[in-house]
Amino acid sequence: MASIRELHQQLITKQRSSVEITQKALDRIEAVEPTIRSFLHVTPEYALEMAQQVDGKIAAGEEIGLLAGIPIAIKDNMCTKGIPTTCASRILENFVPPYESTVTQKLKDIGAVMVGKANLDEFAMGSSTETSAYQVTANPWDISRVPGGSSGGSAAAVAAEEAVVSLGSDTGGSIRLPASYCGIVGMKPTYGLVSRYGLVAYASSLDQIGPFGKSVEDAAILLSAIAGYDPNDATSLKVEIPDYTQFLKPNLKGIKIGIITETFGEGLDPIVAETVNTAIAQLKTLGAEIQEISCPRFRYGLPTYYIIAPSEASANLARYDGVKYGFRSDNPDNLLSMYKKTRATGFGAEVKRRIMLGTYTLSAGYYDAYYLKAQKVRTLIKEDFENAFGKVDILVCPTAPTTAFKVGEKIADPLTMYLSDLMTIPVNLAGLPGMSIPCGFDDKGMPIGLQLIGNVLREDRIFQVAYAYEQSTEWHKEKPPLS
């Protein structure tokens, strides 16, 4: 599938209509979806109607934006008015939101064409898209492997060319990990840069919506469209949003890059280490100054996250009780019985595990020992990053310790599964922007991601480094061996 800019050019010169482009995406979905299973809901009528509106504007001589008429997939934890939003959970099986999330409304307003709602780990809790109550999405590079999580459906849809770009959400690595596993670009912006209004909450101090694309430029165009202040989100930042494509420059002269030494140790696959080191050497040839940087508290990110995130989830998911909306169990004896049966039947094992973990750490007698201490460690992790950014512009490390693993390989061992997010979690705890870009393949032909981390609101630098690297290599042009 062509890039956003190429498709835009075809639209404005009337080489192709938005209906043709959209129909091609829908045909592709029909062809590969039985194998990949990226989508929970495909919306052909809605998509073609939006495409017709864009074609009408072009015919009337109106100017259109870059994303108008472009097929996009939306992670199914963002509210879409009149279209099911399930969070891949049985508890929201029949939930149809009465309102639109801010990000989807922005995309609707500029004429982007939503082709469907993408699969995810239930309530965005997972690293493999295996905790979805409905289906397991396959990795387009090897359908026996996972696409990563929790935004696995969004990443697989872009990698399999079912959509040009997509939206995911990232609480502890849920955009960057699938981007790495699926060989595409995925970005988690600075916390508060993109509105969370209408994003179904998992852990409110960590959640952030971000873009997936086949190229850095596509990700930059999509982020420019969705970022910005929103009075409906109390954590939204009042900042000027630039056109991120203006930072896409081919050289890195004067840019200082730090390698996080703590990420190159135990548990890192040697092929991943070697590939990432080759990518770092390439950054040096592009003019960047490279140095090693220590973030000593980086390794405490994982245990800190698995106290803070479940605690917030425990509070956020208390609203699913069978009273107001969503699933309700049949024939309960009384109100308490209805609560118990609804939540026992409606939630999957991983969601229950995290609710129980969170409720425990927030309970009397354990709050100070766990939750309060975790918040203090979070501050120390943030301090490490602040010190690092006093010396360098960008930090680099592998996105994930390994490449995509086999479906079923880690699902029975939650602790091993949690280790997949080892490199990505500290970025969320500090509220920083991070991006995964493709930088090579392992001996099984599975993609490897390089993670770029910027200081608060320094997406511009991440885009500059990512673009320069991408343009000097061919990794982003590789396509999975899907028929």
pLDDT per position as a tens digit, 433-445: 999 999 999 999 9
**107 within a domain of the structure (yes/no):** yes
What percentage of the chain exceeds 90 in pLDDT? 96
**97 within a domain of the structure (yes/no):** yes
Catalytic one among 38, 75, 180, 436? Answer: 75
**349 within a domain of the structure (yes/no):** no
**179 within a domain of the structure (yes/no):** yes
Split into its structural domains, the chain has a count of 1
- The confidence score (pLDDT) of residue 332 equals 87
**119 within a domain of the structure (yes/no):** yes
Q: Apex CA 323: angle with CA 322 and CA 325, to 5°?
A: 75
Beta-carbon contacts of 60 under 8 Å, excluding residues fewer than 6 positions away, are none
Cα radius of gyration (the chain): 21
**478 within a domain of the structure (yes/no):** no
pLDDT digits 0-9 by tens, 110-165: 999 999 999 999 999 999 999 999 999 999 999 999 999 999 999 999 999 999 99
CB 451 within 8 Å of CB 425 = no
Residue-number span of the structural domain to which 165 is assigned: 4-250
Look up the CATH number of the domain holding residue 100: 3.90.1300.10
**Is 101 designated active site?**
no
Provide the mean pLDDT of the chain: 97
CB 153 within 8 Å of CB 73 = yes
**51 within a domain of the structure (yes/no):** yes
CB 215 within 8 Å of CB 185 = yes
Catalytic one among 174, 180, 236, 420? Answer: 174
Catalytic one among 17, 89, 127, 150? Answer: 150
Buried-state track 393-432, b at ≥16 Cβ within 10 A, e below 16: bbbbbbbbbbbbbebebbbeebeebbbbbbbbbbbbbbbb
**410 within a domain of the structure (yes/no):** no
Whole-model pTM above 0.85?
A: yes
**Is 174 designated active site?**
yes
Q: Which amino acid is at 139?
A: N
**Is 75 designated active site?**
yes
